[in-house]
């Protein structure tokens, strides 16, 4: 493995010097008229709550910012739940705690991150051509206490958003300085223990921020997760908003056992299959699954801004490694019940990239206008494999591939205030991708290049009575697994296989409104539509995603954030969506796993005579599990509670209660074929000897965590 790592490093360093890109943020829409008088840059707005009050700034109703106060007011069962602050997003899990979460938004089961682009300080987190799932997004290496804001957009309407951003995109921002040093110790149910230390002393002409996180967690499972992770962040920053730079380094390693989803018929008390292997709700059908993951990297950022223009540069590089053992079908492949269906997925990569953008103000036909240009380049040097295994010991290799995946994406965007009540945002991006695959089976090797151009546009009317109206449309895309673009033979069966399109087109449109007409209340409503030329679906027996049929989604979102007093905030977000395959096949038109209804609501109390806390309710509606909608998942409604007291400005105590009502809900449900130990071979020729069934991963029962936080 060490020699493989050296090869990856060597190949990646050769392309680091040739990569270029940056995301651009339009920070000043309401700028003064451009005359011979020099423009003055306004100071940045510090967002504390959820800034839906973006009248005159946002390009759509589905764009927003979540500030640090809103982030701190939410109990987090997992780091990934930071993204549940984005209205309509659901975060769950179907395996061990160290694995990437399951994501849901806008009619999608996004699996581990497909069609939702996530980044940290502009550095992409999604991993293409991943060993377990396309766009794999693991957030276990994020330290929540360092996140100061999350900027999000939904739909393919922004020129700066590229791969995986069709449903939406979110960029998390780490702090560059802390108001005081932080020391926090947590303990709780199911072997939960966590410690965080962070500080940001002055050093020379800048600030050195460093943070360390250590965690252990078992979970409620009969086979303890024994999840252990270590996290470290080191950041040095210098300068100010007008001119500055920073260097950020990070290191993460996690190891865990995993309780994968279990067949419903295997649950204790369910006698549908006499003699079948029956387990408790928190039991396992393969006690040897689990994995380990690590990520080490750095990013360098530089920015310059004056009254007329803004420039940003970002370069990043990281090493990533995942070794994952799973078993979703138990004994489907061995009728003798001696060898379980465990498989190992390995993903090892070096990722490098560079982003650059430049914005400048000008007059266009006598009107205030701003242009943005940018270039985003990324290179992934990947070695991944799919292997058979027993008790985490590799027994054979199904496929092994070396993949070099490179993309270059220039973009342009213009924002013009044509009239007092009319402005437009027009842009386009071009994406050039190259895949070079060297496979264990030479018949699956090859190289392919693909290109897409994506125009985008928005028209914004208003404001009238603190209300704006938005009309958005745009083309986007997601990339497919690079191995699928060159595969001609199924490595598992030896049968011919069809290649998939490297880049898949998406088409989106949206109509929405944003209002702050009622004092203290920020509300947005949006009706949206999205078509995809090829759906990415989870395949249970393969443990990955595969390209499928074209699909269409549409829905309605209603988001509200209300601050009646300084010490109280209330929010209610409701989302409805529908997803259907566009072609007509006998199997049916429903997209399995597609989310239909989400309701998220909560209240937060801020510093009421020293007390603080919040109550949150999350409803995750039922979903079709098969194409003809004859099998559907159950719904879940979970309530979380936070209560805390600040003894003084330095010390506070926080108590979080998860699943307060102890609901016996499922985090995730699938429907596919499996066979239990001792289960008779199914003679149905349409199956492979197993039985179709719902496979579920239960939500954790009521649990308690207590945290003592000190600042000095």
Domains of the chain: 2-711 (2.40.170.20)
How is residue 160 written in tokens?
């700066």
Find, among 107, 120, 142, the residue nearest to 23 by Cα.
120
Measured in whole angstroms, the distance separating CA 146 from the mean position of its chain's CA atoms is 18
> Quick one: tokens of 618?
């999350």
CA 570 to chain centroid: 25
Q: Which residue has the higher pLDDT, 49 or 499?
A: 499
Given this model, what pLDDT does residue 165 score? 97
Whole-Å CA distances, 409 to 114, 134, 162, 357: 19, 19, 8, 12
Side-by-side strand order, sheet with 691-698: 262-263, 691-698, 666-674
Tokens of 382: 């990947």
Which position has the token pair 């209560």? 643
Q: Mean per-residue pLDDT for 604-621?
A: 95
* Residue 449 in this model has a pLDDT that exceeds 70: yes
Taking only the tens place, the pLDDT of each residue in 484-508 is: 999 999 888 888 988 899 999 999 9
So what's the pLDDT on residue 276? 54
- Identify the pLDDT of residue 277: 65
Average pLDDT over residues 61-82: 93
pLDDT > 70? residue 517: yes
Strands 168-174 and 147-154: antiparallel
How far is 574 from 88, CA to CA, in rounded Å?
A: 7
Mean pLDDT of 690-696: 95
Annotate 256-267 with b (16+ C-beta within 10 A) or e (fewer): bbbbbbbbebbb
| Total residues found in the chain within this entry | 712
Report d(CA 478, CA 503) in Å as an integer: 6
Of the listed ranges 51-55, 75-79, 297-301, the least confidently predicted one is 51-55
pLDDT in the model for residue 15 = 39
- Please write the tens of the pLDDT for every residue from 565-586: 999 999 999 999 999 999 989 9
What does the alpha-carbon distance between residue 513 and residue 515 come to, in Å, rounded to a whole number? 7
* Residue 205 region by backbone torsions, left for phi larger than 0, else alpha for psi between -120 and 50, else beta: alpha
Rounded distance between C-alpha atoms, residue 210 and residue 643, angstroms: 28
Question: Cβ distance 705 to 216 under 8 Å?
Answer: no
Q: Rounded mean pLDDT of the chain?
A: 90
pLDDT level of residue 54 (50, 70, 90 thresholds): confident
pLDDT tens column, 635-670: 999 999 999 999 999 999 999 999 999 999 999 999
* For the chain, percent of residues with pLDDT exceeding 70: 90
Q: How do residues 3-42 score in pLDDT, each as one tens digit?
A: 444 444 344 433 333 333 333 333 333 333 333 333 333 3
Nearest-angstrom CA–CA distance, 22 and 480: 23
Please state the rounded mean pLDDT for residues 189-202: 98
pLDDT band at 481 (very low <50, low <70, confident <90, very high): very high
Task: Quick: pLDDT tens for 199-225.
Answer: 999 999 999 999 999 999 999 999 999
Q: Do residues 152 and 213 touch, judged by C-beta distance below 8 A?
A: no
Judge if the upstream peptide bond of residue 381 is cis by omega within 30 degrees of 0: no
Confidence of residue 537 (pLDDT cuts 50, 70, 90): low
Tokens describing residue 660: 């307060």
CA end-to-end span of the chain: 44
Three-class SS state of 85: helix
pLDDT at position 40: 37
Please report the pLDDT score of residue 660 as a whole number.
98
What is the per-residue pLDDT for 275?
A: 52
DSSP string of 461-491, one letter each residue: EEEETTEEEEEEEEEEEEEPPGGGGT--B-T
Are residues 659 and 638 in contact, defined by beta-carbon separation less than 8 angstroms?
Answer: yes
Output the 3-class SS for 385-408. EEEEEECCEEEEEEEEEEEEEEEE
Contact 687, 674 (CB under 8 A): no
Q: In the prediction, which pLDDT does 19 show?
A: 34
Confidence at residue 1, expressed as pLDDT on a 0 to 100 scale: 43
Measure the CA–CA gap between 229 and 196, rounded to whole angstroms. Answer: 12
- Three-state DSSP class for residue 3: helix
At 182, is the pLDDT very low, low, confident or very high (cuts 50, 70, 90)?
very high
Indicate the pLDDT class of residue 551, thresholds 50, 70 and 90: very high
């Amino acid at each position: 493995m060490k020699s493989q790592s050296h090869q990856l490093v060597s190949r990646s360093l050769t392309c680091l010097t040739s990569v270029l890109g940056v995301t651009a943020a339009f920070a000043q829409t309401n700028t003064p008229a451009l005359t011979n008088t020099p423009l003055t840059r306004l100071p940045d707005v510090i967002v504390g709550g959820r800034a839906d009050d973006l009248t005159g700034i946002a390009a759509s109703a589905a764009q927003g910012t979540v500030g640090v106060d809103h982030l701190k007011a939410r109990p987090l069962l997992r780091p990934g739940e930071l993204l549940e602050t984005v209205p309509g997003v659901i975060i769950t899990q179907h395996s061990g705690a160290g694995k990437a979460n399951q994501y849901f938004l806008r009619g999608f089961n996004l699996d581990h991150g497909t069609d939702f682009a996530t980044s940290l300080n502009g550095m992409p987190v999604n991993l293409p051509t991943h060993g377990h799932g396309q766009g794999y997004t693991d957030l276990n290496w994020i330290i929540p206490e360092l996140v100061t804001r999350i900027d999000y957009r939904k739909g393919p309407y922004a020129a700066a958003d590229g791969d995986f951003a069709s449903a939406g995109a979110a960029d998390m921002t780490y702090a560059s300085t802390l108001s005081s040093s932080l020391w926090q110790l947590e303990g709780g149910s199911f072997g939960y223990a966590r410690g965080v230390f962070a500080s940001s002393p002055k050093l020379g002409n800048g600030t050195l921020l460093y943070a360390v996180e250590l965690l252990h967690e078992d979970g409620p499972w009969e086979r303890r997760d024994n999840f252990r992770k270590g996290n470290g962040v080191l950041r040095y920053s210098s300068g100010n908003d007008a001119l500055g730079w920073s260097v950020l380094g990070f290191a993460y390693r996690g190891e865990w056992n995993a309780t994968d989803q279990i067949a419903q018929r295997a649950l204790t008390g369910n006698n549908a299959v006499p003699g079948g292997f029956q387990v408790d709700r928190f039991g396992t059908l393969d006690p040897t699954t689990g994995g380990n993951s690590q990520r080490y990297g750095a990013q360098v950022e530089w920015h310059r801004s004056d009254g007329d223009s803004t420039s940003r540069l970002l370069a990043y590089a990281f090493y990533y490694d995942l070794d994952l053992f799973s078993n979703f079908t138990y004994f489907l492949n061995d009728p003798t019940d001696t060898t379980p269906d465990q498989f190992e997925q390995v993903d090892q990569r070096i990722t490098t990239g560079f982003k650059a953008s430049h914005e400048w103000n000008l007059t266009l036909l006598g009107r205030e206008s701003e242009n943005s240009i940018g270039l985003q380049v990324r290179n992934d040097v990947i070695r991944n494999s799919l292997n058979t295994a027993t008790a985490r010991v590799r027994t054979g290799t199904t496929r092994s591939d070396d993949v070099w995946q490179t993309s270059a994406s220039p973009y342009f965007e213009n924002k013009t205030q044509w009239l007092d009540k009319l402005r437009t945002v027009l842009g386009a991006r071009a994406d050039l991708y190259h895949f070079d695959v060297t496979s264990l089976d030479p018949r699956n090797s090859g190289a392919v290049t693909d290109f897409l151009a994506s125009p985008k546009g928005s028209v914004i009317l208003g404001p009238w009575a603190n209300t704006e109206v938005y009309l958005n449309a745009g083309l986007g895309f997601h990339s497919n697994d690079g191995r699928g673009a060159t595969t001609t033979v199924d490595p598992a069966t030896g049968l011919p296989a069809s290649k998939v399109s490297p880049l898949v087109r998406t088409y989106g449109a949206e109509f929405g409104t944003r209002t702050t007409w009622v004092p203290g209340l920020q509300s947005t409503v949006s009706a949206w539509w999205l078509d995809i030329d090829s759906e990415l679906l989870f395949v249970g027996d393969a443990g990955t995603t595969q390209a499928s049929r074209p699909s269409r989604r549409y829905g309605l979102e209603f988001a509200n954030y209300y601050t009646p007093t300084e010490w109280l905030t209330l929010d209610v977000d409701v989302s409805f969506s529908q997803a259907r395959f566009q072609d007509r096949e006998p199997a049916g038109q429903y997209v399995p796993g597609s989310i239909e209804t989400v309701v998220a609501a909560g209240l937060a109390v801020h510093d009421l005579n020293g007390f603080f806390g919040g109550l949150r309710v999350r409803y995750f509606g039922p979903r079709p599990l098969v194409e003809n909608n004859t099998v559907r998942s159950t719904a879940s409604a979970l309530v979380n509670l936070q209560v805390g007291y600040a003894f003084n400005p330095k010390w506070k105590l926080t108590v979080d209660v998860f699943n307060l009502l102890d609901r016996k809900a499922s985090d995730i449900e699938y429907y596919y074929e499996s066979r239990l130990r001792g289960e008779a071979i199914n003679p149905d020729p349409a199956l492979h000897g197993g039985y179709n069934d719902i496979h579920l991963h239960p939500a954790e029962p009521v649990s308690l965590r207590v945290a003592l936080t000190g600042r000095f």
